[in-house]
Chains A and B, each alone.
Chain A
Amino acid sequence: MNHLDSLEDQSIFILREAFYKIERLAMLWSAGKDSQTILWLARKAFFGHVPFPVVFMETGFDMPDLIALRDRIAKEWNLNLIIARKDVAGMNPSKGRVVCCSALLKDNLKQAVARHNFGGLIVGVRRDEDPTRAKERYFSPRDKHMEWNIADQPPERREPINTDLAGITHLRVHPLLHWTEPDIWEYAEREQIPMAPLYFARNGKRHRSLGCVPCTAAIESNADTYAKIRDELRATKKSERSVRAQDQESEDAFEKLRRDGYM
């Protein structure tokens, strides 16, 4: 079977399992490349519908490009959009990038989950992104503080997938876990998934990974089509999150964020 087809089929299977098993399921949607791909897959899984709310986290340092795409897609695809925002007076990356991420994203996320009492959240993380995500499960339990007990995760076979904690504890669902960054672009090209213009090179620069404006750097690139981006990523030796300034603060900056409930 074609590689992209099998990636797609596995993700659809996981989305359908999550939808069947988890009450008050929602999806975290940043309008970035990975969450655009999940939405696309969800519309395939549910025959043109997205049958759960999508939660967009606003920090006040958001990329205007993503906000524009969000508003367009939410309307075109008839999404049940929840915009989550938690303003913290005077918070900005100069207070410490991890501190800022913690306050404006992680705590915002925890607050949104508590407010809507979501039983589970679909999140677009992939194993190839960083070493802690390499250890993730498709269905990953979080405790009541949304914290991740990384040293004691439940066993998971490829199938049947472990969904027995649904209703017992909050679950993170990761339908893209087995995808790689070039896979995303190869699939996006085949399916013509709408993506933010910032990903495509202009004047020798493009964005590879989109976060908040102050902490996301562009890379040198001339890749201005889906296919060129895919080929560029196949050849690169730079890691995807190297453009995310908050990860570089200390050896375990990102792991700490994720243990505490970050995506």
Chain B
Amino acid sequence: MITDAPLRIVIVGHVDHGKSTFVGRLFHDTGSLPEGKFEQIKAACDRRGVPFEWAFLTDGLQAERDQNVTLDTAHICFRTPRRRYVIIDAPGHKEFLKNMVTGAASAEAALLLIDATEGVQEQTRQHANLLQWLGIKQVVVLVNKMDRCLFNADIFRRIATEYPKNLVIPISAKTGDNIASKSANMPWDTGPTALEALDTFKAAEEPANLPLRLPVQDIYRFDNRRIIAGRIESGTLRVGDRILFSPRDKLGTVKTIEGRQSVGITLSEQIFVERGQIISHEYDAPIVADAFGVKLFWLGRQNLEVGRRLKLKLVTQEIECHIESVEKVVDDSALADVTIRTKRPIAFDTYDRVAATGRFVLVDQHQICGGGVIMKGEYHDRSQNIFWTETEVSRADRERRNKHKGTVVWLTGLSASGKSTIATALERELFAMGMHTYVLDGDNIRHGLSANLGFSPEDRTENIRRVGEVARLFCDAGLVVVTAFISPYRDDRQLARSRVDEGDFVEVYVNAPLAVCEQRDKKGLYKQARAGKLTEFTGVSAPYEAPEKPEIVVNTEQHTPAECVEQILRYLKDNGRI
């Protein structure tokens, strides 16, 4: 037997406008109360010496009944001949807004209750805004407590005109008017009852034809299989599909799939996968960026603050972020349009394209302090083979055959400190030992790969970035690659280091005092720099940032190049690189 999922309806509105009373009455008038519940509620009221209180049905907590106010959201099931419902009774009190969000966030439709004698109040407006912000479009307005204004049609109409786009129904929860049956007290009203209105709500449609989004939840190793687990948030996945892992841009092929929505998949290739990545098809990828415009709902105990460090959670991605700017604040600072910047690029969609990957929550010291939906972001066609393709031969395969590890030996030091001399001698030694090796030399690279760059700080940085990338590829190819570049900036060397795995990067500080280098000056560069003919020359007119924690320091003033090479080889052997 196949049953439809129940429709989830949240009841919202200002505190004391009768939400819980309405729920209790609805249950009673439709014969939905469990046996003995009515008597139980009556006894609880008698004990407190108060008149019969319908709200005690969902106000399940002692404190709620004592104070006659709903503190937290309750979920209860209910059915009409037409279908099943989950009724979510949310608190109206301002202090319990976070509980109201908890309730409303999972609803497909809402009933907004307004006290006829008080009209639209602060939380009435705030809740209505919140519903809109949560994307709940089906909202029926119930003008309650009509008995208290003698079922006056004018009072009802005055409130109803504020909601021209909604169905508005006059009711009295306490007396049961227009709840499950038509009210005899309001002959002027020709609309449906609250119960009839419920049955007009439509179940949220299954998203069809949406792009595939499968956030990686975890990676398991069971029974010698490596299983990637996650829940398909949209779209369809089939065996044999080429899939893209964002934001790292890795490609793989689906070998097996188990499960329907919460799935486990295996891949044909061995690629690095971690929690947080979003799997999509190659041709219909999510956005990858580190800044985006959002609609934010703020629940924090402190005020919303630009620059404050928060944690952002978007499906299974978690990353540090901050509010970069606030564009617009609506509604008592609870709702705002802001720009968020994350520490590194993440994968996401705009909310209108894929809801699940277009919404997020913010966490401040382990507490959810807000949530939002992403409004702006640009989709780029990332399908033009710009991905890291995993080839059939892995680095591990190459290293097994080569009998040594791919390694980057990064020489840094002043001009004429001896980098090129050491690099070429080291290469010769490694080659003689049967290693696969190659030297990337500053001058040689500038003849080709970096021919378009000068010596400004920006160009130096770009030059080193390129060298770092080439070194990484060589390392991946299983070579011991030796680089000989001044590489004067710490950050640039750090970037190169960060591009390979730990242990792969061996920084060698080729150390010789400036005076010694200047004296060597085989190429006559120092002379030109001193004469002002060569600008931005490291050590003379541009800074050199010496390494703080290099793996090796070689001193070319006191040691011969052969001794320096010997020192480097010893390190590589001791650390299992060669």
Chain A residues engaging chain B, CB cutoff 8 angstroms: 1-6, 8-10, 12-13, 16-17, 19-20, 44-49, 127-128, 130-132, 134-135, 137, 150-151, 153-160, 162, 164-165, 168, 178, 180, 186, 237-239, 242, 251-252, 255
Contacts and interface: CB of A to CB of B under 8 A. Distances in A.
6 A-B pairs closest in CB distance: A131-B60, A155-B98, A12-B262, A157-B105, A9-B261, A158-B106
A168 B367 CA distance: 11
Contact of A131 (B74, B206, B313): B74
State the majority secondary structure of interface residues on A.
loop
Interface in B293-323: 299, 311, 313-316
- Among B44, B99, B275, B360, chain A packs the most CB atoms within 10 A around the CB of B99
B77 A5 contact: no
B61 interface: yes
B47 A251 contact: yes
A13 to B, nearest CB: 5
A5 B61 contact: no
Interface string B497-515: 0000000000000000000
Given A5-B261, A132-B60, A154-B368, A47 B223 contact: yes
Contacts of B3: 3-4, 186
Contact of A164 (B2, B206, B222, B366): B366
Given A9-B261, A151-B71, A155-B101, A3 B4 contact: yes
Interface of B: 1-6, 33-37, 40, 43-44, 47, 57-63, 71-77, 98-99, 101-102, 105-106, 206, 217-218, 220, 222-223, 225, 227, 229, 231, 258-262, 264, 275, 299, 311, 313-316, 356, 360-361, 363, 366-368, 371
Nearest to A130: B60
A154 B367 contact: yes
Nearest to B100: A155
A147 B5 CA distance: 33
Contact of A47 (B34, B258, B316): B258
A255 B62 contact: yes
A20 B313 contact: no
A179 B550 CA distance: 59
B62 A252 contact: yes
A48 B262 contact: no
B367 A164 contact: yes
Contacts of A47: 220, 222-223, 225, 227, 258, 264
Contacts of B71: 150-151
27 contacts: A1-B206, A3-B5, A6-B261, A8-B262, A9-B231, A12-B231, A12-B259, A16-B229, A45-B262, A47-B258, A134-B76, A135-B60, A135-B61, A150-B63, A150-B72, A151-B72, A155-B368, A156-B368, A157-B368, A159-B315, A159-B356, A160-B316, A237-B34, A237-B35, A239-B36, A242-B34, A252-B62
Nearest to B367: A154
A46 B225 CA distance: 12
A17 B61 contact: no
Contacts of B222: 46-49
A142 to B, nearest CB: 14
B262 A9 contact: yes
State the majority secondary structure of interface residues on B.
mixed
A153 B72 contact: yes
B430 to A, nearest CB: 44
B26 to A, nearest CB: 16
B335 to A, nearest CB: 15
Contacts of A135: 60-61, 72-74
Given A5-B261, A48-B222, A127-B75, 4 more contacts: A8-B262, A135-B74, A157-B368, A242-B36
Contacts of A153: 72, 99, 102
Nearest to B44: A251
B175 to A, nearest CB: 24
A168 B72 CA distance: 23
A157 B261 contact: no
A20 B229 CA distance: 11
Contacts of B262: 8-10, 12-13, 16, 45
A132 to B, nearest CB: 5
A134 B34 CA distance: 15
B72 to A, nearest CB: 5
Contacts of A4: 3
Nearest to A45: B262
